Structures are given as structure tokens and as C-alpha cells.
Amino acid sequence: MRKLLFHLAILIATLAQAQDEQKQIRSIYDAALTKSEAYENLRVLCKDIGARLSGSEQAEKAVVWGEEALNKLGLDTVYLQEITVPHWYRGKKRESILF
């Protein structure tokens, strides 16, 4: 009987701790959505910088913007890695009619 009560007490304590953790996680989540710059950052990337195809001018602007945003947050180590990104050029526009 003592073992059963002991295990029941552990179960109750574990459930109480899980509920506290859920509340903490929810408060972090709510703060991130309502009191942070997340939506403003998303707006800048989507509206100000625009579509970011690989190798495009907008992709480069997004990289520069991201580096500046991280530096403004005061992070101690922000750096860009060199990378080769393939990109596509349309070339001259041609039209033809096939019968």
C-alpha cells in the first residue's frame, strides 16, 4: 500500500510540474507573437525586400538585412558563411509559333 501511495504522489507531482511547464511555454509563445518584432521582421522580408529567388538581388538584400538585424539584437557572434548559390538568368525573350 505504501508503494502505491508513493507512486501516486510521484505521479501527481509530475503532472503538476507538466502543467507548470505548459504554462511557461505558453507564456513564451504568447510573448513572441504579441510583444516581439516577429511580425515586423516578416513584413520587412515579404514587403520591403520581396521575393528572394536564389542568387537574386533580393536574396542578397535579405542576407544583409538578416545580419544587421542580428547585430542590432546584440548577439556576440554574427558572421556570414561563404556559399555558392546557383542562379538562373532568363536571357533574351523569344517567341515562336509551332504548327
Q: HEC states along 17-53? A: HHHHHHHHHHHHHHHHHHCCCHHHHHHHHHHHHCCCC
Q: How many domains does the chain have?
A: 1
Whole-model pTM: value is 0.56
Amino acid identity of 7? H
pLDDT in tens, 72-82: 989 999 999 98
pLDDT in tens, 21-61: 888 888 888 887 788 788 888 899 999 998 888 888 899 99
Q: Is residue 43 a part of any domain in this protein?
A: yes
> Given a cut of 90, is residue 98 above it in pLDDT?
no
Q: Is residue 59 a part of any domain in this protein?
A: no
Q: Is residue 48 a part of any domain in this protein?
A: yes
Q: Report pLDDT for 9.
A: 77
Q: Which domain holds residue 12?
A: 2-52
> Given a cut of 80, is residue 4 above it in pLDDT?
no
